């Protein structure tokens, strides 16, 4: 570590003094931090004990996190799952090497043990060769408490009320025409997080997650036709029970059902392979954006830290590609943001105490930034220097619980909509001869460069109307070609939100982040029959 600013932290007594100077005790006294859970020690105390322990043992930087997570999930009306999870994780930097130790025990004794263990893990690697680890500075010391605003805390109402709500919704589904099967899942998460570091940060936050899905299948026995639909308006969001209760779920179901009913009337044909203009709905665009632009710009993936796990990225030379790599047509603008209300990745501070900011990932079709944490940002410091930007982490650090070490994950992404009033229906009308793809499943290779969209429903479009459904259709693409073939985007009214998950790391950890996107029109996409062998 090269920051001299941090050297004074080696001395724990100085650290304690610094704590008083930089973050007055009164800030805690006045904070609204809940005493949580009952009977457990003050979180700031055990976090400080862990950091003291690590710094005393020789760490040049240390951070500690506590997480308390509750999950309430339902699969069927009578099957309600409840989970509670607590974790304590300490990370320490020693001569450039990272050590991490975690456990489920919240106590001062455990804090001391974890602090020592984290340093011992790091120290074991000091065997003669240097590892240069620089950490991007933070513009200000962060402290405070934040709660994600939700209108109905699902953990403050009886689980039966939630189950009854879903019972009603699914009863409504059963009343609809030609329903052959239906399913739903839901879960609510409440995570209390506390973070502290040897930079005198101490933050606590309460995050919520509402997650759900409704799907149904239709069968018209007289026509021997089948179709299916899912409610695309619900996925995973940073909201409470209001995400379901205060939204017109029945209306969403009715719309999806109407579409599925219409599907039953369309003939089913084997797919025409070749090149076609293709309209993809918001769910499909989100599914393609998340891995091809989101995961691909995770800084650790770009630099090969995930090579043995999820893979690498097509951004092979970040220093020269940032600001010059053409990723798409000039109408493609992607921003990342972890403060969008209602989205799943929303936080006040990331898991390194950084307050995330909104930034461009793709600007006018050109790669603008990577998704960074404090270590990853320093790997591209030359880029920041050259372009006159401030060296900083964008706040992408995340870990599912404190049991897992924090890593750089996808932020919530938005595609800038067109400045018009186009939507899925009006874009379809512009297609005289083409295809339309609804809610496909998108898979990219381990370098996020070639991919395949399959599943969902593929329609044949003639004169702006759906005239048939294709079976076994797939869209084969290369990431830069996909986004370069983007010709039209829907307007701001057509933007929808989706929460999507990805996995990384060893041991593996998953994160969910949101995508806000309109539907989009792509030219000359390669359509294949996914079942056809060579």
Partner 1 sequence: MSNFSTGENESVRVFNEKEARRIAAEIASYMRPERSLYIMVSSWWGAGQRWARNRASLTSDQREISIIVGRGRAGRVERGRFYLNATTNQLDSVSLKGIAQHIELYAKRSDNKMPPDMIVDVPRSDVKGANVWSDETFNRSVVENATAVEELTRLSENDQLMSSGYLETTGSGSLEYIRDNWGRVESQWGLVTQAVCSATVRHPKGTASGWAGKTSFDMNRVDVSEVAKIAFEKCKKSLDPVRIEPGRYQVILEPQATAGLIDVLISGLARRIPEEMGRGAMFLGIDNAIRRFRTKLGLKIVDERISVFHDPADPIVGSHFAPLHGRRDFIKNGVLTGLFNDYQHNLNEISEGLPLYRSSSYTLNGGNTTFSDMISSTKRGLIVSRFTQIQVIDPDSVLSGGLTRDGLWLVENGAITKAVRNFRWTESPLFALNNVEQIGIEEQVFDPVSSRNPFANDSFALSLNNVVVPPLKINDFSFTSTIDAI
Residue numbers 342-401 binding partner 1 by CB under 8 A: 400-401
326 binds partner 1 (CB under 8 A): no
How near is the Cβ of 400 to partner 1 at its closest, in Å?
6
How near is the Cβ of 392 to partner 1 at its closest, in Å?
22
Site for partner 1 in 410-449 (CB under 8 A): 443, 445-449
307 binds partner 1 (CB under 8 A): yes
Site for partner 1 in 95-134 (CB under 8 A): 97-105, 107-110, 113, 117-118, 120-122, 124-125, 127-129, 131
How near is the Cβ of 245 to partner 1 at its closest, in Å?
21
For partner 1, the closer of residues 128 and 267 by Cβ is 128
* Contact stretch for partner 1 (CB under 8 A) within 236-244, 260-268, 380-388, 501-509: 501-509
Q: Which residues, 6 or more positions from 473, have their beta carbon under 8 angstroms from its beta carbon?
A: 271, 435, 437, 454, 458, 527, 528, 529, 530
Contacting residue, 3, 6, 10, 85, with partner 1 by CB under 8 A? 85
For partner 1, the closer of residues 167 and 491 by Cβ is 167
For partner 1, the closer of residues 282 and 372 by Cβ is 372
Q: How many residues belong to the site for partner 1 (CB under 8 A)?
A: 79
How near is the Cβ of 48 to partner 1 at its closest, in Å?
16
Site for partner 1 in 445-464 (CB under 8 A): 445-450, 452, 454
277 binds partner 1 (CB under 8 A): no
Which alpha helices (DSSP H) does 181-290 contain, by range?
Answer: 242-245, 249-265, 282-289
CA dist 66 and 192 (Å) reads 8
262 binds partner 1 (CB under 8 A): no
Site for partner 1 in 181-240 (CB under 8 A): none
In 328-456, beta strands by DSSP E: 334-337, 359-363, 366-367, 397-398, 407-408, 412-415, 433-438, 441-444, 450-454
Question: Tokens 């969403």 identify what position?
Answer: 252
CA dist 246 and 170 (Å) reads 16
Cβ proximity of 128 and 66 under 8 Å: no
Name the nearest CA neighbour of 448 among 303, 314, 322. Answer: 314
Q: Which positions from 161 to 190 touch partner 1 by CB under 8 A, shown as an x/- string?
A: ------------------------------
267 binds partner 1 (CB under 8 A): no
Q: How far is CA 333 from CA 7, 30, 197, 216, 528, in A?
A: 41, 42, 35, 35, 28
- Taken as a whole, the chain contains a residue count of 534
How near is the Cβ of 417 to partner 1 at its closest, in Å?
30
260 binds partner 1 (CB under 8 A): no
How near is the Cβ of 50 to partner 1 at its closest, in Å?
13
**Phi-psi sector, 196: left (phi>0), alpha (psi -120 to 50), beta:** beta
Cβ proximity of 346 and 238 under 8 Å: yes
Helix (H) or strand (E) holding 480: helix 479-484
Handedness of CA 296, 301, 307, 310 (dihedral sign): negative
3-state secondary structure (DSSP) of residue 146: strand
502 binds partner 1 (CB under 8 A): no
């Amino acid at each position: 570590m090269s920051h001299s600013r941090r050297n004074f932290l080696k001395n724990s007594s100085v650290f304690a003094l610094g704590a008083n100077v930089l973050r007055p005790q009164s800030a805690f006294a006045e904070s609204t931090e809940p005493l949580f859970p009952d009977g457990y020690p003050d979180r700031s105390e055990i976090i400080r004990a862990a950091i003291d322990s690590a710094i005393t043992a020789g760490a040049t930087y240390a951070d500690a996190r506590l997480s308390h997570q509750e999950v309430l999930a339902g699969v069927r009306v009578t099957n309600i799952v409840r989970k509670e999870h607590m974790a304590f994780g300490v990370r320490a930097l020693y001569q450039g090497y990272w050590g991490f130790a975690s456990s489920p025990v919240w106590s001062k004794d455990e804090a001391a043990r974890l602090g020592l263990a984290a340093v011992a893990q790091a120290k074991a690697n000091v065997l003669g060769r240097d590892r240069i680890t620089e950490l991007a500075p933070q513009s200000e010391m962060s402290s405070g408490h934040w709660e994600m605003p939700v209108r109905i805390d699902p953990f403050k109402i009886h689980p039966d009320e939630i189950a009854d709500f879903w019972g009603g919704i699914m009863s409504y589904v059963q009343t609809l025409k030609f329903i052959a099967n239906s399913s739903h899942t839901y879960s609510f998460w409440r995570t209390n997080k506390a973070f502290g570091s040897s930079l005198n940060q101490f933050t606590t936050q309460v995050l919520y997650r509402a997650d759900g899905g409704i799907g149904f299948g239709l069968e018209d026995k007289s026509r021997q036709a089948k179709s299916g639909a899912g409610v695309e308006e619900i996925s995973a969001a940073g909201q409470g029970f209001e995400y379901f209760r205060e939204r017109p779920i029945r209306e969403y179901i009715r719309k999806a059902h109407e579409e599925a009913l219409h599907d039953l009337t369309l003939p089913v044909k084997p797919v025409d392979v070749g090149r076609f203009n293709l309209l993809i709905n918001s769910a499909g665009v989100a599914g393609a954006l998340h891995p091809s632009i989101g995961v691909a710009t995770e800084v650790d993936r770009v630099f090969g830290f995930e090579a043995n796990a999820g893979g690498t990225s097509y951004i092979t030379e970040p220093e020269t590609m940032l600001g010059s790599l053409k990723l798409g047509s000039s109408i493609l603008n992607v921003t990342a943001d972890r403060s969008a209300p209602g989205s799943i990745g929303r936080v006040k501070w990331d898991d390194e105490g950084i307050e995330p900011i909104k930034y461009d990932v793709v600007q006018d079709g050109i790669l603008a930034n990577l998704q960074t944490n404090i270590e990853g940002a320093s790997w591209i410091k030359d880029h920041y220097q050259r372009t006159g930007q401030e060296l900083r982490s964008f706040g992408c650090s995340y870990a599912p619980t404190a049991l897992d070490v924090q890593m750089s994950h996808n932020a919530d992404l938005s595609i800038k909509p067109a400045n018009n009033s186009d939507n899925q229906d009006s874009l379809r009308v512009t297609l005289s001869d083409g295809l339309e793809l609804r809610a496909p499943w998108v898979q990219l290779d381990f370098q996020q460069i070639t991919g395949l969209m399959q599943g969902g429903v593929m329609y044949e479009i003639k004169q702006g109307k759906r005239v048939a459904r294709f079976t076994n259709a797939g869209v084969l693409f290369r990431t830069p070609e996909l986004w370069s073939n983007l010709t039209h985007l829907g307007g701001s009214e057509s933007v929808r939100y989706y929460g999507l998950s990805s996995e990384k790391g060893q041991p593996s950890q998953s994160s969910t982040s949101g995508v806000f996107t309109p539907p989009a029109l792509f030219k000359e996409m390669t359509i294949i029959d996914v079942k056809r062998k060579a």
